Amino acid sequence: NLPKHATLIEVGPRDGLQNEKNEIPTDVKIQFIKELKKAGFKEMELTSFVSPKWVPQLKDAGEIISYCSDEDRNLVLTPNEKGIARAKEANCKDVAFFVGVSSTFNQKNINATTEESMQKLLPLIRSLKEEDFFVRACISTSFYCPYEGKIEADAVVELCRQFADAGVDDLSVADTIGMANPLEVHELFSRLKKALPDVLITAHFHDTRGMALANIYAALQAGVDRFDTSAGGLGGCPFAPGATGNAATEDVLHMLHALNIETGIDMNQLLKAVEIIEPHLSGSVQSKQYQLSKRS
Ligand code: HMG
Ligand code: MG
């Protein structure tokens, strides 16, 4: 009972580059995005309007987004009202908030407790929905927290419900530090699909322990057909110690196509995008498909 089609939301330009040690020139980021779009991605997280003091890697967010005036869903992350004001100034119509189920993580990431964040974000989301924005909520530490340990599924469902009630379009439910296993993934996503049938549910896995593909398979079996992935497997949150890259888009694509799940993404063109960014990275790209393409 696997889906026939799945949507990959490319998060490399945002999650992938926010944790990169090297300073990547803005024009290289733009070229990376353009090559990814050519591969067929219609939804991407392109950058973040966050404090440049906290995440200097994405300080060129305004410039990046000015090159993306097409019809695609060009998502930008924002933590607060100031981020929304910057996003509006740049004519963005697709925004993503991010909150940790773990309040300790939320404090380290955006300097507020989870409750403080929700008090500010929920009214903001309601007003953005009145203005016809597409609103996504990224739910960090949905399985484990680097500070608080195991997270209860009840807490995740409750937080997601609050966002859904405020009108968000998409919930990206994240295994921030790559500690979840397929049993936990199947259980949580089955519950979310049942509890919140009217909102898009996306799964966001970091591959810290090599479990991302197994977790994606478990999520597919729970009815999930949207996945955040990162070209080259880049990524990680600077405020989540131990977090490494996201599931590599090319490796996920290989698995989905092998399962006869259609994505609309072209593998060769995706690998070209990885080739653009790779020389600028502090480390090498470890994904299986990229390594294979270099050997042949
Ligand atoms: P703060 O220091 O408490 O902020 O940080 P503040 O409100 O006190 O303001 C301090 C200064 O920052 C002021 O400037 C503000 O104007 C400025 P100053 O007067 O000192 O010159 N400021 C901003 N500047 C630009 N854009 C803004 C903005 N807001 C305030 N939006 C803050 C609070 C939220 C700003 C900070 O903690 C922050 O930027 N955090 C971002 C952290 C981040 O980007 N983390 C990574 C993304 S989440 C993630 O990766 C997880 C995910 O992938 C899912 C998963 O895997 O779990 C999504
Ligand atoms: Mg992430």
Complex prediction ipTM: 0.98
**What is the model's pLDDT at position 214?**
98
**What is the model's pLDDT at position 16?**
96
**What is the model's pLDDT at position 105?**
98
Residue ranges of the chain with per-residue pLDDT less than 70: none
Q: How far is the CA of 16 from the centre of ligand 2 (A)?
A: 8
**What is the model's pLDDT at position 171?**
99
**What is the model's pLDDT at position 138?**
98
**What is the model's pLDDT at position 109?**
97
**What is the model's pLDDT at position 296?**
80
Ligand 1 touching residue 270 (CB < 6 A): no
> Quick one: which ligand is closest to 95's CA?
1
Residue of 68, 92, 160, 237 with catalytic role? 237
Verify whether residue 160 is a known catalytic residue.
no
Ligand 1 touching residue 15 (CB < 6 A): yes
**What is the model's pLDDT at position 18?**
97
Ligand 1 touching residue 212 (CB < 6 A): no
Is residue 255 within 8 Å of residue 213, measured between CB atoms?
A: yes
> Quick one: which ligand is closest to 96's CA?
1
**What is the model's pLDDT at position 21?**
94
Q: How far is the CA of 8 from the centre of ligand 2 (A)?
A: 14
Atom of ligand 1 nearest to the CA of 246: 56
**What is the model's pLDDT at position 25?**
98
Cβ count near 286 (within 10 Å): 15
**What is the model's pLDDT at position 11?**
98
Q: How far is the CA of 259 from the centre of ligand 1 (A)?
A: 40
